[in-house]
Structure 1
Amino acid sequence: MHAQRNFKIAIIGTCDTKLEELLYLYNHVSTISNSLKTDSFSITPVLVNIGKPSESTSHHKKISISIHSLLPSSTSYSCRNDLIATIGGALKSYLLDLVQNDKIQGILAIGGSCGSSIVADALRSLPFGFPKALLSTMASGDIKPYIGCSDTTVLYSVVDIAGLNSLLKQVLENAAGAIVGMIESRALILETVDLNTRQRKKVAITMFGITTPACDAARAVLEKNNCEVFVFHATGSGGMAMEKLILDGTFDGVLDLTTTELADEAFGGVLSAGSERLKGAARTGIPIVVSTGALDCINFGPKETVPEKYKERKIHVHNSAVTVVRTTETENKCLGEVICARLLENSRDGKRHKIRVWLPLKSVSILDQDESSFRDEKANQALQEAITAGLRDTGIQVVAKDLDINDKRFAEGVAKSRLQRLA
C-alpha cells in the first residue's frame, strides 16, 4: 500500500488588507480536505502574503511566508508600480521553485486590481495543467492582461473582496471547492495514467477553420502511428500557447500547417500571436514541418471593423464576428521572407536538417482553392518564390507539391514527413 501523499495549495493574497477573506479560504480548504474519504492523499493550505508584513498575531502564525521577506532590505522604489513589479517578480521565482521541486500542487490567489496584477505573471509562468485559479474583482472585464494564454481558472468575486458577507462567502467557498477538486482530480489521474500514453510521441499541429481538412487528415496519420496530437487553433492565443509549450519541452515535434497568425501580426489583423511565433521549434532543435496554411487571410472582427485601407480588397465574411481580407502579392512576398528569417535566425546550422517547409502550390486554404473567392495565383506564387529563394542552400529542405493544402495527399505527406523526423 502506498503511503499517503500530502498535496499543498498556496493561498495567495495581501494579508494586510484581505486577511479575513484569506483565512476564510484557508479554513474552508482545510474543511473540504478533512471531509475527503481517501487514504491516498490529503490537502493542506499554505498561506502566502504578497502585502505588507504585519505584526505577529495568532492569525498571522498561519502565514507561511511574506514575499516582502524575499526582497533586499536596502532596495528603494521610485514609485508604487516599481514595488508591485518587484513583489510580482519575487513571487514568480518563489512559486516556480516550489512547483519545479514538487513542493506545491495547486495555487489559489485572490485580489483586486493591484493583487491580481502582482500574481498575474507568476500564474502565467506556471506549467499548463498545473492547478491554478484567480478570484478577482477584475474578472468580469478584459482579463487577457492577467491570464494571457495560460490555463488559469478565473472567477469573478461579484462584490469587492472587502469584508465577509453571505454572497462573498459563497464565492470563496466555490473557489476553494474548485481548486481542491482540481487537486483531487489530478491525484486520481496520476494513479491511473496509462504507461502507453506516457510513451507516445507528442506532436503539436496548428489548425484554422479553412485548413481543418488538412489538419484532420494529418492528425489521423499521426495517431495511427502512436503519436499524441495537440491541435492549436491559430487564433493568436493558440499560437502563443503552442510556442510557450514548445519552449517548455512539451513536444517531440511540430506540424505547423497553419501559419496565418503571421499575416495578422504583419498587417494589423486581430489574431496575431506576437513576435515569438515560429521561433520555438527552431530554437529548441525539435523536428518541425512548416506550411503556409491560411496565409491568404488577414483576420478582423465584424465587417464594419475592417480598416478603411482594406475595404476595396477581396473580403470574406466568415460569420457575424469574423471577417477576413485577402493578402496581396506584395504582402505574401513579405510573409515568405518573415518565415525564412524566423527559421534561419533562430536555428543552428547543425539542427537545420530537422526543419522542413512544405509548399502546397495550388492553394493555401479552402477560400483559395479552385474558383473560390480568394483565389489569387500570383499572390500564392510570390509566397512560394520568397520561401524557395530565402531557404536555398541553407540546410532547410523545401518540398513543393502541386496540390491544395487541404488535399488528403498533401496532408498525409506532411504527416509522414513529420514521422520520419521523429524516428
Structure 2
Amino acid sequence: MTARARVSEREGGEALTDKTILIAGTYDTKDDELGYLAEVIRNQGGQVLTMDVSVLGEPRLPTDISKHEVAQAGGSSIEMAIASGDENTAMQIMGAGAATKALELHREGRIDGVIVLGGTMGTDLALDLCSALPIGVPKYIVSTVAFSPLLPPDRLPADVQMILWAGGLYGLNGICKASLSQAAGAVLGAARAVEPPTRDRPLIGMTSFGKTVLRYMVTLKPELEARGFDVAVFHATGMGGRAFESLAAKGAFAAVMDFAPQEVSNHLFGGLSAGESRMTGAGKAATPQMIAPGCHDLVDFVGWQAVPPQLEGRPMHAHNRLLSSAVLSPAEREQVAQEIGRKLSGAQGAVAVLIPDGGCHEWDRPDADLHDAEGLRVFCDALEAASPKLAEVHRLSCHINDPAFVDHVLQIFDRWLAEGIIDAP
C-alpha cells in the first residue's frame, strides 16, 4: 500500500490520510537528531522513511535506505567514495545518489515530503536532493547555515523551506529541539495540506513585477483563463526568474509571455541575476513565446547595501528598503537589446517580439522621474534590429501599461491558437 493510500484515525474519529516523510541525513553522526525528527512526525500521526547519506560510519540502527543504496544510485559505491580521499568528492557522490533515490521514491508514491538535516556538508547535499523533486512536494532543510550567503540562489529549489538549526551542531538540547520540532511539524503539515500542480488546464507562464510598475497581467490573466488556460505570474527578481526558467526548460508551459526580462539586464550589469540561462528555456523546449521589454532599462540591487560601484552616479529608484534600481544609459540599453536577440536566436518554437514605443514601465512615462526618451528610442531600434529573422516583430505605438498593449497580445495569442501554434485546451 502506498503512502498516499493509508488512512489514520484521530481522536473524535476524524479521518486523516497519513503522509510519509523522507528523513535524510548522516545517521552515523546525527542519529539522535534524526531520530527525534522521526519521533515528532510519528507522534503527529505521520509515517517516515529514513535515508542514510553518511560515508565513513554506521548508524546505530539500520535505515530504510542504506548509504550503500544511496551511493549506488549515484553511480558509485561507498568504497569508491572513501577511496577518493576527499570529503567533498565523497559527499557529491552521496548528493547525486540521494537526489536520484528521492525522486525514485516520489515517483513510486512512497513519500509525500522530505526533510534533510545538516551542517554545510549536509546542506550541500540537501540542495541537490530537494532540487530533484518537483514543485508541490514539500521540502524542508534544517541547516546550520540557513539563509546564509553561502547558499547560491541558483541552487535553491523554487518551493524549498528552510529553518536555522540553532544550537544544533552537536547533540540534542532544548534550543535545537525547538527548531527540529517546528521543521517536523511543518513538513508533515505541508504534505497534508498541499495541492500539487494539476494538468487539467494548459499553463501560461508570465513574468512581471508589482502593479505599481507593470499592469498587463491584471487584464491578461482573466482573459487567458476565459480561454481555458491557467496563468502563473512569476516575480522577476532573481529567484522568480530562476523558477520560471526551470519550468520553461522542462516544457511546463503551453506558451510563455516573458514581458519582464529585466533579469537579463541584471545579469549583464551585476544586478539580481537569474543566471545565464534566463530567456532560453522556452526556446529550447520549442514553447511558443511572446517577448516584451518590461523594465529592461533598470538594474536591481539590494537596497540596504551600498550602491554597487558599476551603478554609481545614475538615476535611481528606491522601490522599498529591500530593493532599489539604477537606470541604464542608452549605450547599455543597446547591449541589453543585443543580448535579448542573441538569446532568442536559439528558439525552436514561435517567437513574437512586442516593442512598445511609448515606454516599458510606469516610471518611464513622459511625466515620470525615470523618463529617458533617447534611451527608449535607442533600445527600441536596437531590439528591432537584433530580433531573430524568424521572429514576428511588432512595433507598437503605445506604452506597455496601456490597454492597446494587452489588446495586441491577445490578438497574437488568438491567432496562434487558431493556427495551432498554441495547443487549444
3-state SS, counterpart of residue 372 of structure 1: coil
Question: Cα–Cα, structure 1 residues 3 and 306, in superposed 2: closer, same or farther, change >3 Å?
Answer: closer
How do 1:384-395 and structure 2 match up within 5 A? 384-391=380-387, 394-395=389-390
CA distance in 2, matches of 1:89, 1:236: 25
In structure 1, the partner of 2:331 is 330
In structure 1, the partner of 2:377 is 381
Q: Does 1:102 align with 2:102?
A: no
In structure 1, the partner of 2:202 is 201
Q: Are the aligned partners of 2:130 and 2:157 in contact in 1 as well (CA < 8 Å)?
A: no
How do 1:219-368 and structure 2 match up within 5 A? 219-269=221-271, 271-302=272-303, 305-345=306-346, 347-348=347-348, 351=349, 354-368=350-364
In structure 2, the partner of 1:167 is 175
Identical residues among aligned pairs (%):
26
Alpha-carbon distance, 1:228 to partner: 1.4
Q: Are the aligned partners of 1:108 and 1:134 in contact in 2 as well (CA < 8 Å)?
A: yes
How do 1:49-128 and structure 2 match up within 5 A? 49-52=52-55, 54-55=57-58, 59-66=60-67, 67-68=70-71, 70=73, 71-72=76-77, 73-74=79-80, 76-128=83-135
Per-residue CA shift, 1:5-59, capped at 9, x if unaligned? 77432101111101111122223322222xxxxxxxxx42111011136457xx5
Q: Larger relative CO (CA 8 A, sep 6+): 1 or 2? A: 1
Return 5+ residue gaps in structure 1 as ranges. Answer: 34-42
Question: Cα–Cα, structure 1 residues 259 and 11, in superposed 2: closer, same or farther, change >3 Å?
Answer: same
In structure 1, the partner of 2:12 is none
Return 5+ residue gaps in structure 2 as ranges. Answer: 8-17, 417-421
3-state SS, counterpart of residue 49 of structure 2: strand
* Length-normalised TM-score, structure 1: 0.86
Q: Does 1:28 align with 2:40?
A: yes
Higher mean C-alpha displacement, 81-90 vs 383-392: 383-392
Alpha-carbon distance, 1:304 to partner: 7.0
Question: Cα–Cα, structure 1 residues 55 and 282, in superposed 2: closer, same or farther, change >3 Å?
Answer: closer
CA distance in 2, matches of 1:3, 1:201: 28
CA distance in 2, matches of 1:406, 1:80: 53
CA distance in 2, matches of 1:85, 1:64: 17
Question: Cα–Cα, structure 1 residues 4 and 226, in superposed 2: closer, same or farther, change >3 Å?
Answer: same
Per-residue CA shift, 1:117-152, capped at 9, x if unaligned? 122122123211111111112225337438625211
CA distance in 2, matches of 1:61, 1:325: 56
3-state SS, counterpart of residue 252 of structure 2: coil
3-state SS, counterpart of residue 154 of structure 1: strand
Q: Give the counterpart letter for 1:297 in structure 2.
A: L
Question: In structure 1, which of residues 152, 156, 160 is the aligned counterpart of residue 164 of structure 2?
Answer: 156
Alpha-carbon distance, 1:416 to partner: 4.1
Question: Cα–Cα, structure 1 residues 296 and 68, in superposed 2: closer, same or farther, change >3 Å?
Answer: closer
Alpha-carbon distance, 1:303 to partner: 8.1
Alpha-carbon distance, 1:68 to partner: 4.1
Question: Cα–Cα, structure 1 residues 63 and 287, in superposed 2: closer, same or farther, change >3 Å?
Answer: same
In structure 2, the partner of 1:12 is 24
CA distance in 1, matches of 2:85, 2:169: 28
Q: Give the counterpart letter for 2:215 in structure 1.
A: P
Question: In structure 2, which of residues 132, 136, 139 is the aligned counterpart of residue 129 of structure 1?
Answer: 136
Alpha-carbon distance, 1:201 to partner: 2.3
Q: Give the counterpart letter for 2:53 in structure 1.
A: I
Q: Give the counterpart letter for 1:263 in structure 2.
A: S
Q: Give the counterpart letter for 1:287 in structure 2.
A: P
CA distance in 2, matches of 1:155, 1:260: 30
Q: Give the counterpart letter for 1:238 in structure 2.
A: G
Question: Cα–Cα, structure 1 residues 3 and 390, in superposed 2: closer, same or farther, change >3 Å?
Answer: closer
Question: Cα–Cα, structure 1 residues 65 and 357, in superposed 2: closer, same or farther, change >3 Å?
Answer: same
Q: Does 1:138 align with 2:142?
A: no
Q: Does 1:177 align with 2:185?
A: yes
Q: Give the counterpart letter for 2:391 in structure 1.
A: I
Number of residues paired by the alignment?
A: 397
3-state SS, counterpart of residue 199 of structure 1: coil
Alpha-carbon distance, 1:320 to partner: 3.7
Q: Give the counterpart letter for 1:175 in structure 2.
A: A
Question: Cα–Cα, structure 1 residues 16 and 141, in superposed 2: closer, same or farther, change >3 Å?
Answer: same
In structure 1, the partner of 2:49 is 46
Q: Give the counterpart letter for 1:362 in structure 2.
A: G
Alpha-carbon distance, 1:239 to partner: 0.6
In structure 1, the partner of 2:403 is 408
Q: Give the counterpart letter for 2:235 in structure 1.
A: H
Alpha-carbon distance, 1:63 to partner: 4.1
CA distance in 2, matches of 1:230, 1:381: 31
Alpha-carbon distance, 1:204 to partner: 1.3
